[in-house]
Amino acid sequence: MAKYIFVIGGVMSGVGKGITTASLGKILQARGYGVTALKIDPYINVDAGTMNPTEHGEVFVTVDGDETDQDIGNYERFLNQDITRVNYMTTGRVYQEVITRERNLVYGGKCVEVVPHVPEEIIRRINLAVRKTKADIAIIEIGGTVGEYQNILFLEAARMLHFRAPKDVLFVLVSYLPIPAIIGEMKTKPTQYASRTLNSAGIQPDFIICRSSQSLDKPRKDKLAVFCNVTKDAVISVPDAPSIYEVPLILEKEHLSKKVLERLDLKVHKRNLVQWESMVRRLKKVSQEVRIGIVGKYFHTGDFVLADAYISVIEAVKHAAAHLGKKPVIDWLDAALYEQEDAYLADLAKYDGVIVPGGFGSRGVEGKIKAIRYLRERQIPYLGICYGMQLAVIEFARNVCKLDGASSTEINPETEHPVIHIMDDQVEKMKQKSYGATMRLGNYEAVLTKGSKARLCYGKSHIVERHRHRYELNNAYRDIIERNGMRISGISPDKRLVEVVELLDHPYFMGTQFHPEFTSRPLYPNPLFVGFLKAGGKKRDA
């Protein structure tokens, strides 16, 4: 029988529920248990693939091609584990299944009702993931914040599961304690309300993770214990940390793994976090900077700038930097700037490397192409991911191969030189407006050319990376591109699809059709990011 830990958010979103879930997983794994982590997104969307990244953050692609929430990426990075589609659930998925079953008479003529049939389906899905992963402990993060309509049925499922097996189910409330500048004191009231709201859903939290900019002092811990009906040692203080990778260690300072295992009636084995601890120590020690620019367009929400849309790219930079003993300084560069004014391009010279990550549509594209040209001509290390690779090919075609007006049919369907065009099997899907989960998704193999920089980085000829695209390099242009000095250094095993391009006369100019950021882990950085930052270090030294 597996154990279940539900992680539920209080007060507001964005306080680190995902990192808490991942970190809790890490410390239980370090005690010798098989751990898996599930994410519940309360949206009606069937998956994250159709959500705008500015609104919802990055779409994280799993090995089996599911388009999921960015938290799945955190779980993978902390647990060092590939997570598959069974671990991701949305309201859309749950309802879709219930309705299909109803149509198939699986409910045998019964009235199908929101309760209990929907929570039962949620529980069925959780158990499916537990069986598939053979986990001893499943940690289930319920998206949103307690008190919303959206996640109420998921809380109901958690309550039902607990009712059936009280000893096997545990609840963690991740809450936020503000310290309003004008008051100058940490306030516990919002957390008290959150805990009470959870109570009204029939759930009593076992632990309260208290996120704040500072540590909780004793009076406040005592107060929360009394008002939220938990023991004092169940109030866990998690102040802001310089790195998310420190959070497991912060939780362990409060002996959380031991407390959780005892509550679940599981043996407390010796803890092994040695590798993780030394990685965190290394992170703290580094001093020499490496400056990386990311040219994107999914940054702005109102007056605020967020980097959530590129979270895996950012983490991959951090992993590679830590591996090389460097301190990454990352700037967000808005592609629109380069469209307004060429003068902004000169700013790019201060970077040790620049990344153009994945993207869709035509907004910002010409700005990105200008930036890529600048990086190519000034010999500044460049990593182009997916769209970043396609745009590098377009820039090269226009300015080096002299194919005037070269473009992607995604940007200009009428272009005279469609150097990037839609993949054959995508044409029909687009005609039918079948957008959901229909891209080329997930793991595919690529074969790397002998003597190429890509092969040097990976140290092997065959690699597997994750994909998410509808367009590809048009094979009719392979020759002219190669003749002019852009090497095709990675292709699919059937030779039909270009996976990697690089420039011969450049310190590091790499474009990949796949997304190397999704496989980067703190202890195992992706080789292309390591190569990219190494080249950046050389530029700086020079």
Least distance between ligand GLN and beta carbon 355 (Å): 12
DSSP state of 521: B
Say if residue 349 is exposed, middle or buried (CB neighbours under 10 Å; 0-12, 13-18, 19+).
Answer: exposed
- The reply to whether 511 sits near ligand GLN by the rule CB under 6 A is no
Going from the C-alpha of 400 to that of each of 459, 481, 482, 484, the distances in angstroms are: 30, 9, 11, 7
What phi and psi, each to the nearest 5 degrees, are found at residue 464?
Answer: -130, 125
Catalytic site includes residue 339: no
The sign of the CA dihedral 505, 383, 535, 82 is negative
Nearer residue to ligand GLN within complex by CB, 14 or 361 = 361
3 state SS of 133 = helix
DSSP state of 262: H
- The reply to whether 471 sits near ligand GLN by the rule CB under 6 A is yes
> What's the CA gap between 510 and 498, in Å, rounded?
13
Interacting residue with ligand GLN among 141, 315, 410, 517 (CB under 6 A): 410
Cα Rg of the chain, angstroms: 25
How big is the site for ligand GLN, counted in residues (CB under 6 A)? 11
- The reply to whether 421 sits near ligand GLN by the rule CB under 6 A is no
Nearer residue to ligand GLN within complex by CB, 85 or 468 = 468
Least distance between ligand GLN and beta carbon 359 (Å): 5
Question: Which candidate in 319, 421, 506, 515 is catalytic?
Answer: 515
Least distance between ligand GLN and beta carbon 440 (Å): 8
Going from the C-alpha of 243 to that of each of 246, 279, 487, the distances in angstroms are: 6, 11, 38
Least distance between ligand GLN and beta carbon 368 (Å): 11
Interacting residue with ligand GLN among 193, 227, 332, 360 (CB under 6 A): 360
Nearer residue to ligand GLN within complex by CB, 49 or 144 = 49
Interacting residue with ligand GLN among 470, 506, 534, 539 (CB under 6 A): 470
Nearer residue to ligand GLN within complex by CB, 156 or 315 = 315
**Contacting residues for 21 by C-beta, under 8 A, at least 6 apart:** 7, 37, 39, 71, 74, 75, 139, 141
Q: Among 48-56, 151-159, 397-405, 465-473, which window interacts with ligand GLN (CB under 6 A)?
A: 465-473
C-beta of residue 4 within 8 angstroms of C-beta of residue 160: no
Going from the C-alpha of 137 to that of each of 127, 180, 504, the distances in angstroms are: 11, 38, 50
> What's the CA gap between 466 and 92, in Å, rounded?
24
**Contacting residues for 103 by C-beta, under 8 A, at least 6 apart:** none
Interacting residue with ligand GLN among 387, 518, 529, 532 (CB under 6 A): 387
C-beta of residue 472 within 8 angstroms of C-beta of residue 513: yes
> What's the distance, CA 23 to chain centroid?
15
Least distance between ligand GLN and beta carbon 416 (Å): 20
Catalytic site includes residue 401: no
Question: Which candidate in 386, 395, 417, 469 is catalytic?
Answer: 386
Q: Among 27-35, 93-101, 384-392, 480-488, which window interacts with ligand GLN (CB under 6 A)?
A: 384-392
The answer, yes or no, to whether the previous bond of 205 is cis (omega within 30 of 0) is no
Nearer residue to ligand GLN within complex by CB, 144 or 357 = 357
Nearer residue to ligand GLN within complex by CB, 195 or 520 = 520
Nearer residue to ligand GLN within complex by CB, 29 or 512 = 512
Nearest Cα to 328, choosing from 316, 339, 338? 316
Least distance between ligand GLN and beta carbon 375 (Å): 18
C-beta of residue 48 within 8 angstroms of C-beta of residue 69: yes
Nearer residue to ligand GLN within complex by CB, 198 or 473 = 473
C-beta of residue 492 within 8 angstroms of C-beta of residue 444: yes
Tokens of 491: 């292709």
Q: Among 138-146, 177-185, 229-237, 355-363, which window interacts with ligand GLN (CB under 6 A)?
A: 355-363
- The reply to whether 386 sits near ligand GLN by the rule CB under 6 A is yes
Say if residue 267 is exposed, middle or buried (CB neighbours under 10 Å; 0-12, 13-18, 19+).
Answer: exposed
Nearer residue to ligand GLN within complex by CB, 42 or 388 = 388
Q: In 80-179, which ranges are continuous DSSP H helix?
A: 91-103, 114-133, 152-164
Interacting residue with ligand GLN among 159, 376, 469, 506 (CB under 6 A): 469
Catalytic site includes residue 517: yes
Least distance between ligand GLN and beta carbon 471 (Å): 3
Task: Show contacts with ligand GLN in window 254-313 (CB under 6 A).
Answer: none
Least distance between ligand GLN and beta carbon 90 (Å): 21
What phi and psi, each to the nearest 5 degrees, are found at residue 156?
Answer: -65, -40
- The reply to whether 359 sits near ligand GLN by the rule CB under 6 A is yes
Least distance between ligand GLN and beta carbon 390 (Å): 6
Q: Which chain residues interact with ligand GLN by CB under 6 A?
A: 358-360, 386-387, 390, 410, 468-471
Active site residues: 386, 515, 517
